[in-house]
Structure formats: C-alpha cells, structure tokens
Amino acid sequence: MNPTSKTTGLFNIIVIVAALGYFVDIFDLLLFGMIRTTSLKDIGITSKTDIERFGLMLDNWQMIGMLIGGIFWGIMGDRKGRLSVLFGSILTYSIANICNGFVHDVHIYAVLRFAAGFGLAGELGAGVTMVNEVLDKEKRGLGTALVAGTGILGAVIGGFVVKWVGDWRTCYFIGGGMGVFLLLLRIGVFESGMYEAVKKSDVKKGSIRLIFQKKERWQKYIAVILIAIPIWYIVQLYAKYSPELADALGLQFSDAERKTVPINAIMLTYLGLTLGDFACGLISQHLKSRKKAILGFMLSSITVIILFFLLAPLSQYFFYTGIFMLGFTGGYWAVFMSTAAESFGTNIRSTVTNTAPNFVRGSVVLINLMYEFFKYSMNFNSKYANIFVGIMVFAGALWAWTKLEETFGKDLNYVES
C-alpha cells in the first residue's frame, strides 16, 4: 500500500492496531483502580482512610505522568513521526507495569505509576492521529469510534481478568505482557502519508508555543480539553471510588461484596462508555455534527446524575444501573478525540491529540484535590463532595462547548502558521 495515499477501508491495519493499542492502554490505566484496595493492603496499608488517601496519591502520580508524557510524546509525534511515539510509549509503560508486579513499598509504587502514566500518554493520541490522517473524511468519525469503543472494552476485560486471576501482581504482569505483544503487531504499520508530506517541508512542527500564539487557537485548545473532563469525573468518582460513594449513600455490602464493588463499577462504567462511544459516533455521523452529539450526551449525563442520587440509595441494583448509565451518557470520548484531531493542522495535530486527552486524564489530579478539599477540609461526605465537584466540571464543559467550531467533514490537509 502506498503510504502517501488515503486508506479507504475502515478495517485496515492502522485502525485495527490503534484499536488494540487503546485496548491495552485502558486495561493498564484502569488496572490500579480495580486492585487499589487489595494491593495497598498487601503492602501494609490497611485503614479505610489511608487506602482512600494513598489511592488518591497514587492516582495523582499516574496522572501527572500522563500530563508530562502527553506533552513529550505529542511533540515527538510531530517532530519524529507517529510511529516513533507508538514504539517508545509502549516500551515505557510495559516495563513499568511489569515492575509494578514486584513492588513492596508505596513510594516505589508511586514512582512506577508515574512511569506507567508517562508511557501510556503516547498511546491514544498517536493512534487516533494516524487513523484520522489515513481515512477519508466521511469515515474518520467511524474509525475513531471503532478505536475508542474497542479500546474502552479493555476495562471490561480487565475486570474479568482481575476476578479470574485474583493475584494483583500477576495482573500487572499480564498488562505488561500484552503491551510487549502489541509492540510486535506494530512492526507492520506504516507512517501517515499526510505527515510524511509535512515532514519534508520546512514548516514548524511539534510546537506547544504554536498552539498559544493566536487567541482563537488557544481558546479552541482549552475548550477541547474542558468538554471531556466530565467523562473522567464519572470514571474517577463513580467507578474507581465507588466503595466510598456507596458508603455515603448508605448502601450495605458484605465484606466479600465490598471487594468487588470497584471492579464491578469500573466494568459497568466502561461497558457503558463502549456502547456510548459507538452510539455517539453513529449519532454524530447521522447529524453530520460533532457539537450536537457532544451536547446531547453531556445533558444526558447531568440528567442521569440527578436520577442517580435520587434512586441509588434505594438498592444495589439502582446503584449499579446508575453507574452503567453514567458510563453510557459519558460515552462521547471518541467524538471528542475526532474533534481534537480535526481542529488543528497537520504540523501540530499529534501534539494536540496527545496533550489534549492526557490533560483531560490529568484533570483527575484537580478532581481529586477538589474532592479531598470538600471531603476533608469542608467535612462533606463523599456524596456531597462528589456533587460539588460535578457542578464545577459540567459548568466548565458547557461553557467550553460554546467555544468549539463544527469540524465534521473538515479537510485536514493543512498546517498551522
């Protein structure tokens, strides 16, 4: 296949490998959330308060790694090529996750979660950039939806793996091993022809400064980030920290049931996200609009959150159903990624599609800090701390939506000056 031509088939090697890459990315990224309690208890941290606070600390280090890694891999993707990022990032997070299986100290745990986050930051952006650059404009949204939908299933499969394997150290070995296997699959992937054409020119490439040189450009960049933060608010405070939320709602779980609460919640959230991503992608194609699809899903999320806090205290059934529905209504990640890739020129597209989603993921640090402030400084319980964080997150996202341009069907063969 000529690498300088567009790939017309939706199911081509780049789309398939990008989808599998995101699958491994999500598996490794959410693995800590599923084994947080078990792993921390095993290394000597036993009280509920310490498990929550050390868990938030480890989450923060992982996401700080993603913030820094997003900038590094994004610039590398524009300067050295998308493939160099795919190979370098996967080596980094695979080695880090394998090493996580040997950890016995919480501080070393934090260093390795930082390294894993740094490596994971390069996976999604590079893959989505290549998918958007090799597919026809009519198929870009479907291609990104396929990548995101397949990738997000990594959390669902991860939940089954954790339940089946049991041992948290073995789970880390499996995650790292899948990364190494994926690296072998990537050998046959070719570079984006659109990038190759820009690479030969003397246009400035891979510059964060270029994003902030014009007011219109940096406002668009900030808006792209803000619209997706509600997705990670849902993942963090409804799925990963579901045991604390269940306690605040007054739900009763046996000791055996409590161990599986975060695993079940993450699986249900990501099953919902998977279905939501496919649905939002198809709706976006039908409406021929990214903006309308995103707004519809954000407003649906707000509605479901209100219903969740009214109904979830009644039973475990309503609690888990609400978490699944929150995942579904938060399933506009694929359309967000398409919007990010379509909003900027080829010479900074990798920088944007790596940094934007990783700044969104990195917003978990701010979400955690706000949550801790409301819970531990203001003495709110988990329920009200959660609600106040949600109000701020959705207010920012709705404002950002008004600043976005419609990118559906936009020609991507251009550069930013």
pLDDT in tens, 16-50: 878 888 888 888 888 888 888 899 999 998 888 88
Note whether residue 413 is domain-resident.
Answer: no
pLDDT attached to residue 1: 40
Note whether residue 412 is domain-resident.
Answer: no
Residue 158 has pLDDT above 90, yes or no: no
Note whether residue 196 is domain-resident.
Answer: no
Note whether residue 172 is domain-resident.
Answer: yes
Q: Which pTM does this prediction carry?
A: 0.76
Q: What is the mean pLDDT of residues 85-113?
A: 90
The tokens describing 47, both together, are 């009280």
Residue 336 CA to residue 357 CA, distance in Å, equals 9
Residue 265 CA to residue 144 CA, distance in Å, equals 25
Is residue 118 a contact partner of residue 26, using CB atoms and an 8 Å limit? no
The tokens describing 386, both together, are 């959660």
Residue 197 has pLDDT above 70, yes or no: no
The more confident residue out of 202 and 183 is 183
- Describe the crossing of helices 290-311 and 215-234 by its angle, rounded to 10 degrees: 30
Q: Which of 33-42, 269-278, 325-334, 402-411 has the lowest mean pLDDT?
A: 402-411
Residue 281 CA to residue 297 CA, distance in Å, equals 11
pLDDT attached to residue 8: 53
Residue 235 has pLDDT above 80, yes or no: yes
Rg value, the chain, Cα: 20
Query: Which of the four pLDDT bands, split at 50, 70 and 90, describes residue 189?
Result: low
- Count up the domains in the chain and report the number: 1
- For residue 136, give its domain range: 13-187+207-401
Note whether residue 197 is domain-resident.
Answer: no
Note whether residue 198 is domain-resident.
Answer: no
Residue 148 CA to residue 338 CA, distance in Å, equals 10
Residue 179 CA to residue 184 CA, distance in Å, equals 9
pLDDT attached to residue 207: 61
Q: What is the mean pLDDT of residues 178-202?
A: 62
CATH of the domain at 127: 1.20.1250.20
Mean pLDDT of the chain: 84
In angstroms, the Cα distances linking 71 to 21, 99, 232, 341 are: 19, 24, 19, 15
The tokens describing 326, both together, are 């929150």
CA dihedral 266, 269, 270, 273 (to 10 degrees): -160
Q: Which of 204-208, 245-249, 330-334 has the lowest mean pLDDT?
A: 204-208
Note whether residue 417 is domain-resident.
Answer: no
Query: Which of the four pLDDT bands, split at 50, 70 and 90, describes residue 210?
Result: confident
Is residue 331 a contact partner of residue 280, using CB atoms and an 8 Å limit? yes
pLDDT attached to residue 21: 81
Q: Which of 196-205, 289-298, 303-312 has the lowest mean pLDDT?
A: 196-205
Residue with tokens 């948290």: 168
Note whether residue 53 is domain-resident.
Answer: yes
pLDDT tens for each residue of 107-154: 999 999 999 999 888 877 677 777 777 777 667 777 777 887 787 778
Residue 220 has pLDDT above 70, yes or no: yes
pLDDT attached to residue 186: 67
pLDDT attached to residue 4: 42
